Amino acid sequence: MLIAFTFRAKPGKEAEFERLLSNPETGKLAAGLMGASRNILFLGHGRMIRVLEVPEGVEPKSMAEIAEENPDFGDFLHKIAPLIQDGFDLDDPRSLEEFNKRVMVPLCYDVRP
């Protein structure tokens, strides 16, 4: 199963936004904690597009759950939250849940030749 989401940096915050997101170790950590087998990041011009591949039958954990269980991931979310345009307040779980709904991109098709 593929999951995709996208969001933008606040104007003037693009460089810091891209610096934080471009760390492959953070991406690897996030993928593992969510239950994904693959984490693909497209990043540029202040926009992030992330595609996660989750094995069939695996229910990915929410970012709020992961932040509670893993302090390093929680620290990352606290750093990135103020940089995101129309982002979230990590201290309000509903805010993060609503953010996730806004940034998810529904799968249109998955074609394999």
Structural domain count of the chain:
1
pLDDT score for 109: 92
In a domain, 8, yes or no: yes
Indicate yes or no: pTM above 0.85.
Answer: yes
Does 108 score more than 80 pLDDT? Answer: yes
Q: What is the CATH number of the domain that holds 44?
A: 3.30.70.100
- Give Cβ neighbours of residue 43 (< 8 Å, ≥ 6 apart): 18, 21, 22, 49
CA distance 44 to 101: 22
In a domain, 82, yes or no: yes
Does 93 score more than 80 pLDDT? Answer: no
In a domain, 112, yes or no: no
**Count of other CB atoms within 10 angstroms of residue 87:** 20
Mean pLDDT (the chain) is 92
The domain of 91 spans 2-105
In a domain, 113, yes or no: no
In a domain, 94, yes or no: yes
Q: Which tens digit of pLDDT belongs to each residue from 21-72?
A: 999 988 898 888 889 999 999 999 999 999 999 999 888 888 888 888 889 8
Smallest CA-to-CA distance from 28 within 20, 17, 40, 18 is with 40
